[in-house]
């Protein structure tokens, strides 16, 4: 299926996605391509589809590592403070 789509200036066509919307509301991403003002995707039936532009949500290994380090710092501090408060109340 090919549908017209006006891609805003400066936007990356690789960020276009097509979603199939099932009757129960579930959504499934469908591979698509963009060329000369049209989005093309394959389907074997007519239904509800949504063509959307999504900024990249790629998470790098560096981002994951930083999040883990932050959690390793925050969690022990939270446990320490929680135990300290509990000890102060029982005295």
d(CA 15, CA 17): 6
Phi, then psi, of 23 in degrees rounded to 5: -60, -30
* pLDDT tens digits, 18-41: 998 888 888 888 999 999 999 999
Which two structure tokens, joined as six digits, stand for 57? 């949500």
- Entry pTM: 0.57
Asked if residue 58 has pLDDT above 80, the reply is no
Return the higher-pLDDT residue of 91 and 15: 15
d(CA 29, CA 44): 15
* pLDDT tens digits, 59-85: 556 666 666 676 677 677 777 888 888
Residue spans per domain, the chain: 1-57, 59-91
- Mean pLDDT, the chain, as a whole number? 82
């Amino acid at each position: 299926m090919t549908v017209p789509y006006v891609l805003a200036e400066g936007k990356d066509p690789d960020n276009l996605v097509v979603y199939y919307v099932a009757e129960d509301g579930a959504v499934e991403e469908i591979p698509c391509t963009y060329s000369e003002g049209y989005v093309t995707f394959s389907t074997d039936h007519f239904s509800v589809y949504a063509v959307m532009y999504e900024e990249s949500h790629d998470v790098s290994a560096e981002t994951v590592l930083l999040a883990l380090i932050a959690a390793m710092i925050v969690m022990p501090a939270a446990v320490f403070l929680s135990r300290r408060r509990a000890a102060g109340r029982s005295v």
